[in-house]
Structure formats: structure tokens, C-alpha cells
Amino acid sequence: MPKEKQSFLERLTGSIKPEPEESESVEMEVAVAKKDFIEERPREKVIVKEIPTMKKERTWMEEAEGQLTIDVYQTPSEIIIKSTIAGVKPEDLDVAITNDMVTVKGRRMKDEEVSQDDYYYQECYWGSFSRSVILPVEVEAEKSKATLRNGILTVHLPKLERIKTKKIQVQEEE
């Protein structure tokens, strides 16, 4: 049974040690220090062994999520978020909205496998992506809507209508 891949957080925090692929020996020159100065004598050579290296296919960069580029602007009645999400089907998108934050998650899948040696340029992002935005005003999450047209995701977020402060006149009671 194949081992489950470690999450980015597990590798970052070191809660699970990486599997060593091979060991390397590193030779370093070390100066011997005495009090506040380095002693004037030939440097000693120290050989450090057994430094594990990560497997090439298990780097943390491979699991990192891409971050969407977005435009956020407002009209008098709503906040609008737009993002280019070309090559992603609506069913591969997840838009989560609270009164003060929006999170867009998804995955852009490659439609063909190309060898790394065959690329001249490789700038397109393939894989998982996400973006969370803290909103400048509260919105009505239940009345929000999202559409995808020509590779552009548009999220309409109606602003929450708060009752404005109302002045009342104080009357004298008899």
C-alpha cells in the first residue's frame, strides 16, 4: 500500500520527518574559536555524514496552491469581485461567502501530459488554487451570486443594509 503524501504543514513544521532518498557527505573547514578571537592556526577539516535529502518529487512547492488574481470594487448597492479563471469548469469551483469574507477555491486540470524536456516556456499554473478576501463592508451572503462567463468569474455581493441612526425628539412627560 503506497504511503500517503505528507501535507505542506507537516513538512514545514517537521511533525513528520521526510523520507531520505540518499545520504550526502559534506566536508567543511571550521575555525577553532578561543574567547573573543579566532585562533591563528590551520583550519581543521570536519566531515559531516548522513544528511538526508528529500526526494525530488516530494518538494513542498508541488503542493503549494496558486493564488488567484482578483479585482474588488463597489457600486452603491454591492461589492463585486472578478477573477480570470480560464480552463476551469463551474463544478470545479467552490465559492464560500460569509458576511465579511469570500473564499474562492478550485482546481485547473491539465488536459495532456507533456514531458518537462519538451517545454520551451512553462508559465501557466495547473493544480489547486484559492484566494480569500476580507470585505470592506458586510454583505448579505444569502443573496450573493456567482457567474462564470468566458473564463471570468464574477461574484456579486449585496451590501448589508444596516439601519442608520435615527434621531428622535424627546418629549416632556406630564
Encode pLDDT of 99-144 as tens digits. Answer: 889 999 999 888 888 888 998 888 888 889 999 999 999 999 999 9
Same domain, 136 and 104: yes
Same domain, 72 and 137: yes
Residues 6+ apart with CB under 8 A from 24: 51, 53
- Decide if 138 is inside a domain: yes
Same domain, 71 and 54: no
Same domain, 30 and 90: no
- Residue 68 is predicted with a pLDDT of 87
Same domain, 152 and 106: yes
Same domain, 102 and 154: yes
Same domain, 57 and 92: no
Q: What is the CATH number of the domain that holds 135?
A: 2.60.40.790
- Residue 127 is predicted with a pLDDT of 87
- Decide if 9 is inside a domain: no
- Decide if 36 is inside a domain: yes
How crowded is the C-beta side of 77, counted as CA atoms within 13 Å?
A: 3
Same domain, 25 and 104: no
Same domain, 151 and 70: yes
DSSP string spanning the chain?
Answer: -PPPPPPHHHHHHTSSPPPPS-EEEEEEEEPPEETTEE-SSPPEEEEEEEEE---GGG-HHHHPPEE--EEEEE-SSEEEEEEE-TT--GGGEEEEE-SSEEEEEEEE--SS---GGG-S------EEEEEEEE-SS-B-GGG-EEEEETTEEEEEEEBP-PPPP---------
- Decide if 128 is inside a domain: yes
> What backbone torsions phi and psi does residue 112 show, to the nearest 5 degrees?
-155, 155
- Decide if 101 is inside a domain: yes
- Decide if 97 is inside a domain: yes
Same domain, 56 and 95: no
How deeply is 77 buried, as exposed, middle or buried, from its count of CB atoms within 10 A (0-12, 13-18, 19+)? exposed
Cα separation values, 35 from 29, 32, 40, 42, Å = 19, 10, 13, 17
Q: Which whole number is the average pLDDT over 2-26?
A: 58
Tell me how many domains the chain contains.
2
Question: What pLDDT digit, counting tens, does each position of 32-65 carry?
Answer: 555 555 555 555 555 555 545 544 444 545 557 7
Same domain, 89 and 138: yes
> Are 57 and 3 a contacting pair, CB within 8 Å?
no
Comparing 53-62, 86-95, 129-138, 162-171, the range with the smallest average pLDDT is: 53-62
Same domain, 35 and 75: no
- Residue 42 is predicted with a pLDDT of 56
Domain span at residue 54? 20-61
Global pTM exceeds 0.75: no
